Structure 1
Amino acid sequence: MRKVNVGVLGYGFVQETFHLPSYKEIAEANVLAIAGRRKKRAEEVARKFGVKKVYSGDDFIEKACSDPEIDVIDIGLPNFLHRKAAEIAAENGKHIICEKPLARSVDDAKAMLDAVERYGVINCYAENQVFFPQTVRVKEMIENGAIGRVFWVRSREAHFGPHSAWFWNPELAGGGVLMDMGCHSVEVARYMIGKKPVEASAWSATLVHDTKAEDNSVALVRYEGGELGQAENSWAAHGGLDLRFEIYGSDGAIFIDTTRETGIRVFTVAPEEKVGYVVEKAEAKRGWMYPIWREHELYGYLPELQHFISCIGRDEKPRETFRDGYIVNCILDACYRSVKAGKWEKIVIE
């Protein structure tokens, strides 16, 4: 398979911690450029990962997307820039990988979907949690009938809040924790259930942080066969990242605990500087801990990007596309409408 030249938009947490380390391990991927508004920061990250080209300034998106050597644009930008970046990339004939959520609204998501379909580019929705090694294995077991008919999926993602200021502004992010983490949780449930979502009921509140956005949420999503997806999300939970899934079937149940069952348990009272990295959003490095290892792989980023690069190199449709991201936005839109209305709301998918 030919080498696929990647242009990376953004130099923040998701790119520096997950995408760029993953690309280093994918033989078919060649990160050709890093682009971001601040030149100094873009150059710093480019040096760290051995990337030759840097695009910066207010028009960094246009510059990267017009580079004739770039095959695919990887969008790891704040939510409010996703639509602009995707439309410009598609107009320039670039294939696209876009981080979750696809967009901050249904309208933006539909515009992005329309753009990639209009220009015929391969579009990849980067929902890493459906690429967890555990998630993929569990899906195989479900398809083989290991727990019978799946009727209830409970998913939980929680920590004490995001790392960048724009997340806390619902005008920029599209919402609070329901948008930021709920997009993960509802898509994992949809992936496991494998049917069409029809209606949603949700609760959200701001209970701990002084912010305009909700910091806690619960969403219930009903599927066409009566199955239920239950998503619990919080920006107010201490103890570092908490990722868990429970899948209940007519003949059994499956439990996944990504961050509390890492295979490593440590107890220490040593100085924190000697402990090193523990897990994403860790607040303390003393006492009992469950250190994560190869985070970019266990959180699904490496297998996700391997799959996307392979599909682009072979001109094949990926497992997760902008259509999937659009459906997630439709589900979340129904959830937010339910919060306001206090009742179940229909999920409208065009």
Structure 2
Amino acid sequence: MVGSLNRGSPVGPVADQGRALMRGGHPSDGLLAALLGACGAIVREPLGERTRHQVQRIRAGRRSWVLKTYRRETDEHFAHRFRREERVLTLLAASAPGLAPALEAGVIGTDQAFLVMDDLGVGAASLHRVLSGSGCPIEPLAKAVAALAEWHAFTADLHDLLAAFCQSIVLDRNDRETLARRHLLALRRIGVELPAAKARSFAGRVIDPLLESAPRVLHNSANALNFVVRADGSVALIDFETISLGPLEIDLGELAIHPAVFGRHGLAGTAALYPGDVDPEALARAGLLRAIDSCGALARQARQDPDPESAGKLDRRARRYREVAIQIAEEIGVDDCGIPAA
């Protein structure tokens, strides 16, 4: 069955065409033109880093949008993640306009789905690029933290509604079992097998205390790549497919461990920008977990990248996250996290 949405309204005839027009796992130009009322040729360009879902900018005449395609071949949970993101974007448009791109259209089929969102504009750049290229200025970081706080306020108001979408995929959860498994997987990706006794000790000292806080609906991927700084300086959040439950320090910690942010402002400096209560010990534990995750993920991407230059950049980023993890572990007295010294 193919479903469709377009500016918040069903589009039956277009939906009926969806299966035929989404050949090869990608929406055709004809389907996009029909959904968007676009005139002229559709021009596409890739956006962002390689992920399990393809993201493109599409242009038709003077207008541009962002197209995100979900495919079963790269994500067996594609339908759940599509529905999460579609629901969040729809709710944000009504309750917190400007915090995220406006949703224009979407179609879900048997093996693929896609969303079309407003382009955030000429001159927009990821927070990662902004922070990495200009000495980590405080203003865009402060606006990103404010955007994250606005997200947490939005999800607090709709907690029960959104919580139903948070637990459908085990891989995205922030429970003890999943966090412990992700920790071991990240270590394996950098060539470390943590003994069972040390793994249990780490979970008891880091994961269990972190999860004592009341759960919130998290973005759950609040890294600097998922904050977009518009040309006017305002900041938007993107990529809501992995929302999950957990303490807010997981979201804030993921932003705070960006090497440029951590090196200049530290965990405490980032926490000071957040307009609400932050548990510094929970933030450190969350930052340590996310830094190890990032190190492992980037190391894996570096090994798989066929381009030596690109692989080298990924490897250097992995090493920087390893340095962050080592420093946090030393500061909080955790000697069994498994990260080897550089």
Is the TM-score greater than 0.5? no
With the length of structure 2 as denominator, give the TM-score of the two structures.
0.29
More helix by share: 2
Which of 1 and 2 has higher RCO (CA within 8 Å, sep 6+)?
1
Structure showing the higher strand proportion among its residues? 1
- What TM-score comes out, normalization by structure 1 length? 0.28
